[in-house]
Structure 1
């Protein structure tokens, strides 16, 4: 019997509540249709047994180089691949836990869109990000026109998308595309430390806060405020709310030991 092919996406669960989702598609971590299916399957597995926080990472030199262009040959194929992108990245964005993209190298096209689907982005000083699809005569199809514009504003998104240029980590931080920049040898531990800090928080409350922010941005401010009120009431039914309030009254702020329920 031939050996089974190695998985292209893996999950490594740590005892501290952090899960690491890693893309492993040599040589450039191209995001093929099979990689997208495996990302979706990995997110489904995370949803079945939710960690406290998730780090999404790729290769040391290339976080993810974008879509596998060999799979595009016309509108019909583009619709299929585009649907796979949205399914995989929307499921990651909807994960009710904090997600951090840990970007060590190039994050281009679909790779940048994968990072945009996460809540936060931390990058090595050697990282470069961009949406270069325009250089092929096409446009982003994995959420780039929408998530990038919401993150950095429409004018900056248009600059990046219309030009196809790549931005280094420092510029990416200046425009809000990434949140933190560290030296390459610090990236792995800095990503895990950030995730551990988030995983130690009240997971139920974080999930409701994430839903309030993300879903609230989809509609009017009034609708978002109504949603916030509903989720504000809901959070008081969680164990962590009771723990947090009792701890505050007895010990002051920042001393609660949350259970995640």
Structure 2
């Protein structure tokens, strides 16, 4: 249900379309291992199969404790630490804990019909520890509260205006992600890592 392919560009795909790509504990573990195993890739692309990127945790698994597993933080941390270019290619809607993957990526592109939401208030869970700060860094504190506290579903066009996503893609989001990674794939990995480090460096 988690497929990884490629070397310099590692594509990791969530493949459970009959369940809106909702994640089981085994799938979440597999995602962690796939991302951790891709640290040498020049670029990392995350996507899903079908019309939904991921609905987050499988509902039954969430009720059984999956919503509180440290694997979510392990996954987003591994994405955030990746030295190459990381791209979340949202083939459709992303919800709940799966938002952590998108927030941890360097770039987020989305199909036109995608929505982004994180219904922790409604479900009675806290968001994963690093997600609120990453969300606020992208859209500001008030809009982060719109998503996490007011439970708003943000359509792709509004998410683009907010800075929550970086581009809306009419065609194949994976091919669009490959195009975005072209220069990184052609460069020395150390050069790309150095530029990324400079971008994230705090001003003196």
TM-score normalized by the length of structure 2: 0.90
* Contact preservation (8 Å) 2:57, 2:67: no
Distance (Å, rounded) in 2 between the aligned partners of 1:151 and 1:71: 29
| Cα displacement (A) at 1:142 | 5.9
| Cα displacement (A) at 1:113 | 1.6
Distance (Å, rounded) in 2 between the aligned partners of 1:44 and 1:72: 23
Match for residue 65 of structure 1?
55
Distance 1:142-1:36 versus aligned 2 partners, 3 A rule: farther
Counterpart of 1:23 (choices 4, 8, 14) is 14
| Cα displacement (A) at 1:213 | 3.8
Match for residue 29 of structure 2?
37
Say which SS state the counterpart of residue 125 (structure 2) adopts: coil
Higher relative contact order (CA 8 A, sep 6+): 2
| Cα displacement (A) at 1:121 | 0.3
Distance 1:80-1:139 versus aligned 2 partners, 3 A rule: closer
Does residue 195 in structure 1 map to residue 181 in structure 2? yes
RMSD of Structure 2 on Structure 1 (CA): 2.0
Distance (Å, rounded) in 2 between the aligned partners of 1:186 and 1:72: 31
Unpaired runs of 5+ in structure 2? none
* Contact preservation (8 Å) 1:85, 1:142: no
Distance (Å, rounded) in 2 between the aligned partners of 1:21 and 1:62: 15
Match for residue 116 of structure 2?
129
* Contact preservation (8 Å) 2:46, 2:87: yes
Distance (Å, rounded) in 2 between the aligned partners of 1:64 and 1:180: 19
Distance (Å, rounded) in 2 between the aligned partners of 1:117 and 1:10: 20
Bigger Cα Rg: 1
Match for residue 244 of structure 1?
none
Distance (Å, rounded) in 2 between the aligned partners of 1:38 and 1:78: 14
Match for residue 6 of structure 2?
13
Distance (Å, rounded) in 1 between the aligned partners of 2:152 and 2:121: 9
* Contact preservation (8 Å) 1:59, 1:105: no
| Cα displacement (A) at 1:141 | 1.9
Counterpart of 1:104 (choices 69, 91, 111) is 91
Unpaired runs of 5+ in structure 1? 1-7, 226-261
Does residue 88 in structure 1 map to residue 75 in structure 2? yes
- Offset from partner CA, 1:73-97 (integer Å, 9 cap, x none): 47xx36851x110011101111111
